């Protein structure tokens, strides 16, 4: 173990995957000499050459199209979309091709590609570079959707994503890139579809995703001083969703708060709520389920307004206190 940042964990996983499997290659805008939009691929072109670390023109549709074609012919592409907002330009290739091919060919063809994308607000990057659109692709049968909330999970989940035979949408929150924690030096996989209880508690369950996991953990620390014990569950993957871990936690605490950064309206947080609401344990809850999400507005560039557009530590604290009547 040694302490490295989230972005370093991503780079290390890519390096290890390139070294261990000749079928793996990286593709995206400026990922070669420049090292990608956030530096995830720094030094990898020099190490593996431009055939395996392929810089492309500014065309997300071309990146996705090449990746789908390469995957169905036996390669394992890892495509980078600098900002997740620009999946909009690649949706036909991802939604109508990558997600459908295994089904349409009766299981005889696979599409083992990974789409890496930087998502989320917090950098003042504005309405076109700060969205959380993971729910769009979680709605599509045939796609796996992953959201690591820390460096340890980022490395292990990325290895699992690259090894998977299905198309994996891998969302990395740009604000988390600098966050550090202990990460093993050797390669390891975290199974897709397995949630983790990040903090054990008994009074309230918070199910949170991506950066909201870190916000929820900070809120739980503050609430502990008031005598409130908060359990924080991180699904880690939206698809497949580990409903068992979520239900087990809520059955224990009997209160649920769901926190996601995406726009609350029609967001994935509603799917998590329905998992509990449609289960028999719903009749044992001590309070109605609460859900926090982004405001129904484009993300502002001005950072004070940006913070008001998505849940913050303070709003999570207030919601927990309301749940327990304090």
- Its pTM stands at 0.97
Residue 54 lies in a domain: yes
Domain edge (last residue) among 153, 183, 213: 183
Domain edge (last residue) among 160, 183, 206: 183
How deeply is 197 buried, as exposed, middle or buried, from its count of CB atoms within 10 A (0-12, 13-18, 19+)?
middle
Number of folded domains that form the chain: 2
Whether 8 and 79 share a structural domain: yes
Whether 97 and 235 share a structural domain: no
Whether 22 and 159 share a structural domain: yes
Q: Is the pLDDT of residue 204 over 80?
A: yes
The 3-class secondary structure across the chain, one letter per residue, is CEEEEHHHHHHHHHHHHHHHCCCEEEEEECCCCCCCCCCCCCCHHHHHCCCCEEEECCCHHHHHHHHHHHHHCCCEEEEEEEEHHHHHHHHHHHHHHHCCHHHHCCCCCCCCCEEEEEECCCCCCCCCCCCCCHHHHHCCCCCEEECCCCHHHHHHHHHHHHHCCCCEEEEEEHHHHHCEEEECCCCCCCCCCCCEEEECCCCEEEEECCHHHHHHHHHHHHHHCCCCCEEEEECCEEECCCHHHHHHHHHHHCCEEEEEEEECCCCCHHHHHHHHHCCHHHHHCCCCCEEEEECCCCCCCCHHHHHHHCCCHHHHHHHHHHHHCC
Whether 235 and 108 share a structural domain: no
Confidence of residue 326 (pLDDT cuts 50, 70, 90): confident
Whether 126 and 40 share a structural domain: yes
Which residues constitute the domain of residue 79?
Answer: 2-183
Counting residues of the chain whose pLDDT is more than 70, the rounded percentage is: 100
Residue 44 lies in a domain: yes
pLDDT digits (tens, 9 = 90+) for 4-17: 999 999 999 999 99
Whether 139 and 239 share a structural domain: no
Counting residues of the chain whose pLDDT is more than 90, the rounded percentage is: 99
Whether 178 and 266 share a structural domain: no
Q: Is the pLDDT of residue 38 over 90?
A: yes
Quote the pLDDT of residue 187.
98
- Does residue 129 carry a catalytic annotation? yes
Q: Is the pLDDT of residue 202 over 90?
A: yes
Q: The domain spanning residue 29 has which CATH number?
A: 3.40.50.970
Whether 219 and 246 share a structural domain: yes
Whether 48 and 116 share a structural domain: yes
Whether 10 and 120 share a structural domain: yes
Q: Is the pLDDT of residue 246 over 90?
A: yes
Residue 95 lies in a domain: yes
Q: Is the pLDDT of residue 80 over 90?
A: yes
Average pLDDT (212-223) is 98
Residue 318 lies in a domain: yes
Q: The domain spanning residue 223 has which CATH number?
A: 3.40.50.920
Whether 200 and 176 share a structural domain: no
Quote the pLDDT of residue 45.
97
Residue 188 lies in a domain: no
Question: What integer best gives the mean pLDDT of the chain?
Answer: 97
Domain edge (last residue) among 155, 183, 211: 183
Whether 236 and 101 share a structural domain: no
Out of 129, 139, 159, 173, the active site residue is 129
pLDDT digits (tens, 9 = 90+) for 259-306: 999 999 999 999 999 999 999 999 999 999 999 999 999 999 999 999
């Amino acid at each position: 173990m040694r302490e490295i940042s989230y972005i370093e964990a991503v780079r290390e996983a890519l390096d290890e995957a390139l070294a261990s499997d000749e079928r793996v290659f990286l593709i995206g805008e400026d990922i070669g000499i420049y090292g990608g939009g956030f530096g995830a691929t720094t030094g990898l072109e020099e190490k593996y050459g431009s055939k395996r670390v392929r810089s492309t023109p500014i065309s997300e549709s071309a990146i996705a199209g090449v990746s789908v074609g390469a995957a169905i012919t036996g390669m394992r592409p890892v495509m980078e979309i600098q900002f997740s907002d620009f999946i909009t330009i690649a949706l036909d290739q991802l939604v109508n091709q990558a997600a459908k091919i295994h089904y349409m060919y009766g299981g005889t063809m696979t599409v083992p590609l990974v789409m890496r994308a930087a998502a989320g607000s917090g950098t003042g990057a504005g309405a076109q570079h700060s969205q959380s659109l993971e729910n769009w692709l979680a709605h599509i049968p045939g796609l796996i959707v992953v959201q690591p909330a820390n460096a340890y999970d980022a490395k292990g989940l990325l290895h699992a994503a690259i090894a998977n035979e299905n198309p994996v949408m891998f969302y990395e929150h740009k604000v988390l890139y600098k966050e550090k924690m202990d990460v093993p030096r050797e390669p390891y996989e975290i199974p897709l579809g397995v949630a983790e209880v990040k903090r054990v508690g008994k009074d309230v369950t918070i199910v949170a995703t991506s950066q909201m996991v870190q916000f929820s953990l900070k809120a739980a620390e503050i609430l502990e001083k008031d005598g409130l014990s908060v359990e924080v569950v991180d699904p880690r993957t939206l698809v497949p969703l580990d409903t068992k871990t979520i239900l087990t936690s809520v059955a224990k605490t009997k209160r649920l708060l769901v926190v996601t950064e995406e726009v609350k309206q029609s967001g994935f947080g509603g799917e998590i709520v329905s998992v509990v609401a449609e289960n028999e344990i719903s009749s044992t809850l001590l309070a109605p389920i609460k859900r926090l999400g982004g405001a129904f507005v484009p993300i502002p560039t001005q950072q004070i307004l940006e913070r008001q557009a998505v849940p913050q530590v303070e709003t999570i604290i207030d919601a927990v206190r309301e749940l327990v009547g304090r």
